[in-house]
Amino acid sequence: MTDASLQESLAEVAGEVEALLEQLMPDAAGPIGRLRAAMRHGSLNGGKRLRPFLVVRSAGLFDVPRERALRAAAALEMVHCYSLIHDDLPAMDDSDLRRGRPTVHKAFDDATAVLAGDALLTEAFGVLAEPATHPDAAVRCRLVAGLARAAGSEGMVGGQAIDLSAERHDLSLAGIERLQALKTGALIAYACEAGALLGEAVPDQRRALLDYARLLGLAFQIVDDLLDVEGTTEELGKPARQDAELGKATFVLHLGVEGARERAAQLAEEARSRLDSFGENADALRRTIDFVLARRS
Ligand code: GRG
């Protein structure tokens, strides 16, 4: 797979997931209409759609029907978008800009942004629980339980709690790895886990995919720290240099720019090695590693 075909494939999955998200959040009358508009503002506003791509491509290793993979992908993206909406609120990062547009609380108001996030999170589980996601209820339960674990206090929300805590300012390198494995890594890992669950993969395959995703998630976060230092607000579509301004300990603070780049490259190689048993079927997942390392937003 070439770089151009990866871009094409990313755009194709993004288009399919967005079409499904549109369907899942139709217009409505009155106050619910305003809530739905806020949900759409926070979820149909660009974004790389990396997590949906990982779901679809992991599921593709096991010939899962595309429409099932897309439902799991949309559910995961709903949880990701809820986290961004809430993270941008004044009580958290207090950001005005996300994906190059005003954040949900700026375009609407704080209370509507809280509710839009709440509704996206809640409805994501409904999407997974519907029989259209998988005919076997046991598989749907595993998908629901996996997302709850990845998003909850032992996953993304737990990572966010550490990020907001006083100790965040002087975390060791190992402490930052743990924080980021939860805050960013848990949903990225779930993306691949969902593919494996939908495909009823054998334990070795599931483990290999999870290891790939955990390593990829860490590399993704190191690149995020590098972009915070080196990127511009225009490129990122969100304020640059936020971490330094908030006095946060980051990978770049501990390793320096060159050291962080080297660590991301090392993790990328390790992630690649975890895909060996999947042969050329996993080419898109291999290319995704290069995409994550080279991303500018
Ligand atoms: C508020 C419950 C709660 C959780 C917030 C994930 C998160 C936890 C906050 C996001 C803050 C942030 C910028 C984290 C760095 C890594 C990250 C998740 C970046 C955003 O993900 P991308 O780059 O975004 O995939 P797009 O816009 O492409 O979807």
Choosing from 48, 96, 183, 187 the residue with most ligand 1 atoms within 8 A of its CB, the one to mutate for a pocket test is 183
Residue 185's contacts (CB-CB under 8 Å, 6 or more residues apart) are 159, 213, 214, 217, 218, 221
Tell me: pLDDT of 277 over 80.
Answer: yes
Tell me: pLDDT of 246 over 80.
Answer: no
Tell me: pLDDT of 67 over 80.
Answer: yes
**Distance from the CA of 184 to the center of ligand 1, in angstroms?**
7
Higher-confidence residue: 211 or 5? 211
Question: Residue 243: its pLDDT value, please?
Answer: 80
Point out the ligand 1 atom lying closest to the alpha carbon of residue 242.
13
Tell me: pLDDT of 207 over 80.
Answer: yes
**Distance from the CA of 202 to the center of ligand 1, in angstroms?**
31
**Banded pLDDT at 130 (limits 50, 70, 90):** very high
pLDDT over 90 percentage in the chain: 85
* Residues 121-144, mean pLDDT to the nearest whole number: 98
* Residues 152-174, mean pLDDT to the nearest whole number: 92
- Structure-derived torsion over alpha carbons of residues 98, 104, 105, 111, reported in degrees to the nearest 10: -150
Higher-confidence residue: 234 or 163? 163
Other beta carbons within 10 angstroms of residue 79's beta carbon come to 22
Question: Residue 82: its pLDDT value, please?
Answer: 98
**Distance from the CA of 272 to the center of ligand 1, in angstroms?**
23
CATH of the domain at 85: 1.10.600.10
* Residues 225-245, mean pLDDT to the nearest whole number: 83
Question: Residue 132: its pLDDT value, please?
Answer: 98
Question: Residue 225: its pLDDT value, please?
Answer: 93
254 phi, psi to nearest 5 deg: -80, -40
Average pLDDT, the chain: 94
What total of structural domains would you count in the chain?
1
**Distance from the CA of 78 to the center of ligand 1, in angstroms?**
12
Residue 259's contacts (CB-CB under 8 Å, 6 or more residues apart) are none
**Banded pLDDT at 21 (limits 50, 70, 90):** very high
**Distance from the CA of 197 to the center of ligand 1, in angstroms?**
24
Point out the ligand 1 atom lying closest to the alpha carbon of residue 49.
29
Tell me: pLDDT of 175 over 80.
Answer: yes
Question: Residue 192: its pLDDT value, please?
Answer: 98
Distance CA 32, CA 38 (A): 10
Q: What's the token pair of residue 250? A: 């980051």
Residue 279's contacts (CB-CB under 8 Å, 6 or more residues apart) are none
* Ligand 1 atom 29 nearest Cα: 47
Tell me: pLDDT of 244 over 90.
Answer: no
Q: What's the whole-model pTM score? A: 0.95
**Banded pLDDT at 53 (limits 50, 70, 90):** very high
Choosing from 87, 238, 292 the residue with most ligand 1 atoms within 8 A of its CB, the one to mutate for a pocket test is 87
Q: Report, in angstroms and rounded to the nearest whole number, the Rg of the chain calculated over CA atoms.
A: 18
4 phi, psi to nearest 5 deg: -65, -40
> Is residue 248 within 8 Å of residue 167, measured between CB atoms?
no
203 phi, psi to nearest 5 deg: -55, -40
Q: Which domain holds residue 188?
A: 3-294
Higher-confidence residue: 297 or 89? 89
Tell me: pLDDT of 4 over 80.
Answer: yes
Q: Which residues line ligand 1 (CB under 6 A)?
A: 47-48, 50, 83-84, 86-87, 92, 99, 156-157, 160, 183-184, 224
